[in-house]
Amino acid sequence: MNISRPSPSTLAAALEISWRLTSEGEREQLRTLSLDDARTKMHLMLGAKIRAELNLWSADAWDLFEDINNRMPDVLALSADSASDALIAALWQRARE
């Protein structure tokens, strides 16, 4: 866990950091997998990178969770796991733009 850096407070900032964390292979998976498959298959490895880099286990991640919930009404970010799942969904969308 990266405890030296605070969590980003907005979905936009978290998405930008998360995008930089993804490898070209992960971006290809995001482009080719269905959303459900991407969320399931990428949760362990990419999700772990996101949770660690964004300090999603820390108390200051609540501002980010709130912004995710406001901007992505179809998800509910209440924990590091659910927030990283929402970010994988946002990355999936970005990879297809």
Q: Give the residue from 58, 52, 46 showing the smallest Cα distance to 19.
A: 46
Residue 1: its pLDDT value, please?
Answer: 45
pLDDT tens figures, 33-80: 999 999 999 999 999 999 999 999 999 999 999 999 999 989 899 999
Torsions phi, psi of 30, nearest 5? Answer: -60, -35
pLDDT tens figures, 8-43: 999 999 999 999 999 999 999 999 999 999 999 999
With contact defined as beta carbons under 8 Å apart, do 18 and 26 qualify? no
- Specify the length of the chain in residues: 97
